[in-house]
Structure 1
């Protein structure tokens, strides 16, 4: 058997190409949309992709199942469980919908579907076996979102969802966990995701035996369903980003075919001027040095550094079908385009390098600036001016551990649906742990016309070091409501404040 795990380190997602060298056939499970990667791996191994399968309807990226089927003629296998409403639009690809216990074959390999609801209602795991020989009892389990290394999955419940639905989904997940954990302990586990806090270079596969002995959530599950469900629900995982609902619907219906990836045209200073005059596209600045972005960027630019958060930042803050113009280094153009199409942002109409932007500015072109301040100044502004609002754009678990007093909590991934609630007569001071996410949020709000400033400072150091006159740490109370949204501070106003 030939086995290849193909990773997207930004989204923490794993696809798999599993082949039978004897027959020259291969299956791809949970592919992303830029399928040339799988075609290249198969070609290098001398294999033909004859089957494509999904463990469930994905919500955090656009699946490449339909794309691979169109490019290779491969058979498609999807879940027929959980009341899935399957409705691909092309009218040509007819998927086989698998029920629990049904299988499909690829050469001498057998992929048996095991219905494991919990992450989603239709979720499947696939037990991979040799059809004959020593490995006929099983080699490994493609476990989708049910298990990751050292962790268990969570129900992907799109809002609105109540406590009863969450608890019921966790009970389903608990039962599905034990269905897999009671298989032979030598079986390998091949998850579809890396745990959110696990480094990219960490171990990416495991075994049932190892997880039973070493995974805290699984040891917790051994105490019984009630303890497991109550403990996990207490952790209150982050709300799903709003774009998940859109991607899930597209994956259910069948994403539009992408075709071969095309490199967008490069801009000169002259074409950059024309673009800015015509407002023909949204400028997405991917520079890693945010201080350079804050000091000077094309007016109206969004900021999303080409780092591990790039895909989720872009999907959270940019509407689909928006024409995009990238500010990106020449050697990073393909990487940026791939990351965008994986989350359904296909319309990249051009790009300019930072050097071209610098030449544009040197020739008299106007660059915008975002004011940047420290936490001490941010708190003074908030205390002295009624129209200044502090906004914390960190995750919920970070916010609960401590925040600036009076700060409103709006995770940056939730900014898009909350935009219409923001009051435009207030000035907004946006902060995060160190300033990275605050720069992203501040640029997005400035584009919408808010008066905004970004805090470039270390929050942990500020909260740990600040003391009152009495020698006590100041009270910093989370504000979970969002009664008076935010706005933006130009440099001149900060200077006079």
Structure 2
């Protein structure tokens, strides 16, 4: 058997290339959309990709299954569980609990493991030349390292009311299937630390069934279903806005993108024309560079592992947008965007220099130190906005700080005072610079960014309130 774990750090998402070397054929589980990665592996290993498997209809990324099938002719093996509302709307081979998939000398057995979503399945792999017992379990968003999939996304992200409690009870039942497996089976989930698909995912890529029975919190509630449900639904992070769109696009027919696009370099005239049309300008530079001088109206989303998540919060799927990015960054940025279906990139400019030469006047971000913040804070003449998630805020915040999560900021501008100084902060400054740029775009002139945030506040052993 040939096995390779492919991990996308930007979405903390894992996919898998599994091949039978004797037969020269391979399967890919939960592929990302820039599928050239799998084609290269297949070429290197002299294998044909003949099977494409998915664990469920994903919410956090746009699956590349159909792109990969289009390029390779491979068959799609997808869940037919979950009822009529959870059926894929394009051609595929349907899988039910107990279905078996043969891949040369390898066999995948399907386990229906609902809870995260009604149609979720896991794949139990037996490598027959090596053993007649299963050796690997691909769990998707069912069981993670140290955590389990969240059942509240359908309700919070897709607006399907009343589904989170049902999903939580389904997960409790599904975990009994997991508990019945031998303790030596390797567990390979679809996500790791940093994913919004759970609240406490571990940072190592894999685990075993036995290890999770010992360390995973979910198995401490095996005799307490109501306690399990209550704990599972509490303190889940805010689901990114784009999740609802992913659910829709991963279920239905959609346009395919079978190669990574090449972005067009825009002239200054093209840039100005696009800005007049209201197209958003995403400045991917590091936050200190943005603070030193930025094009008015631009939004600072730095090119880091969270880039596509925040882009998914603040960009829509119908309106073109523009990037400020160095040419060396473009391939990775384009990949990150296409992984969540943000294909509507009009083009890019490499920096703000041409805009300045043409007469543009940059604006500067007002960033304050902790000493400046303390002086303002103790004079009590400011509004203090904590931009972190609700769970972070409740675990410890600066007294009198109001919590407005940065992802919800565009819908809560009425909560931001326009008459007096407003100090914004997050944990370490990245979310605060996004918020500053969003508020400046809306015409706020009274915003101060305490960029050091809670890290700097706690470093000085300053007091915090909880709850």
TM-score (norm 2): 0.89
> Which has the higher mean CA deviation after the structures are superposed, 133-142 or 35-44?
133-142
Q: Which residue of 1 aligns with 2:241?
A: 242
Q: Which residue of 2 aligns with 1:191?
A: 189
Secondary structure, counterpart of 2:7 in structure 1:
strand
Equivalent of residue 335 in structure 1, options 320, 332, 336: 332
Compute the displacement of 1:173 (Å): 1.0
Secondary structure, counterpart of 2:154 in structure 1:
coil
Q: Which residue of 2 aligns with 1:487?
A: none
Q: Which residue of 1 aligns with 2:62?
A: 62
Compute the displacement of 1:54 (Å): 1.0
Compute the displacement of 1:363 (Å): 6.1
1:180 matches 2:159: no
Assess if the C-alpha contact under 8 Å between 2:65 and 2:76 holds in 1: yes
Compute the displacement of 1:426 (Å): 6.7
Compute the displacement of 1:115 (Å): 0.5
Q: Which residue of 2 aligns with 1:264?
A: 263
Q: Which residue of 2 aligns with 1:344?
A: 341
Alpha-carbon spacing, 1:416–1:248, altered in 2? closer, same or farther (3 Å): farther
Secondary structure, counterpart of 1:147 in structure 2:
coil
Compute the displacement of 1:208 (Å): 1.1
Question: 5+ unaligned residues in a row in structure 1: which ranges?
Answer: 468-472, 479-497
Task: Provide, for residues 158-210 of structure 1, a one-character-per-residue CA deviation record: whole Å limited to 9, x for no partner.
Answer: 33589975344222212212202311222111100003389999431121122
1:310 matches 2:311: no
Assess if the C-alpha contact under 8 Å between 1:242 and 1:417 holds in 2: no
Compute the displacement of 1:390 (Å): 2.3
Assess if the C-alpha contact under 8 Å between 1:87 and 1:253 holds in 2: no
Distance in 1 of aligned mates of 2:416 and 2:84: 37
> Which has the higher mean CA deviation after the structures are superposed, 389-398 or 217-226?
217-226
Secondary structure, counterpart of 2:14 in structure 1:
strand
Alpha-carbon spacing, 1:156–1:5, altered in 2? closer, same or farther (3 Å): farther
Compute the displacement of 1:76 (Å): 0.9
Q: Which residue of 1 aligns with 2:76?
A: 76
Q: Which residue of 2 aligns with 1:169?
A: 167
Assess if the C-alpha contact under 8 Å between 1:87 and 1:254 holds in 2: no
Distance in 2 of aligned mates of 1:200 and 1:147: 10
Assess if the C-alpha contact under 8 Å between 1:374 and 1:455 holds in 2: yes
Show the 5 A alignment for 1:138-149: 138-149=134-145
Assess if the C-alpha contact under 8 Å between 1:375 and 1:459 holds in 2: no
Distance in 1 of aligned mates of 2:466 and 2:108: 52
Question: 5+ unaligned residues in a row in structure 2: which ranges?
Answer: none
Alpha-carbon spacing, 1:318–1:181, altered in 2? closer, same or farther (3 Å): same
Distance in 2 of aligned mates of 1:219 and 1:86: 28
Secondary structure, counterpart of 2:133 in structure 1:
coil
Secondary structure, counterpart of 2:102 in structure 1:
strand
Compute the displacement of 1:88 (Å): 6.1
Distance in 1 of aligned mates of 2:83 and 2:44: 39
Distance in 2 of aligned mates of 1:196 and 1:435: 17
Distance in 1 of aligned mates of 2:380 and 2:448: 14
Assess if the C-alpha contact under 8 Å between 2:34 and 2:260 holds in 1: yes
Show the 5 A alignment for 1:69-218: 69-85=69-85, 94-130=91-127, 132-159=128-155, 165-196=163-194, 202-213=203-214, 215-218=215-218
TM-score (norm 1): 0.84
Distance in 1 of aligned mates of 2:375 and 2:78: 57
Compute the displacement of 1:100 (Å): 0.9
1:283 matches 2:281: yes
Alpha-carbon spacing, 1:457–1:13, altered in 2? closer, same or farther (3 Å): same
Alpha-carbon spacing, 1:392–1:24, altered in 2? closer, same or farther (3 Å): same
Compute the displacement of 1:395 (Å): 1.8
> Which has the higher mean CA deviation after the structures are superposed, 357-366 or 176-185?
357-366
Q: Which residue of 2 aligns with 1:403?
A: 397
> Which has the higher mean CA deviation after the structures are superposed, 393-402 or 154-163?
154-163
Distance in 1 of aligned mates of 2:133 and 2:450: 57
Distance in 2 of aligned mates of 1:37 and 1:338: 11
Secondary structure, counterpart of 1:151 in structure 2:
coil
Compute the displacement of 1:420 (Å): 7.3
Assess if the C-alpha contact under 8 Å between 1:66 and 1:254 holds in 2: no
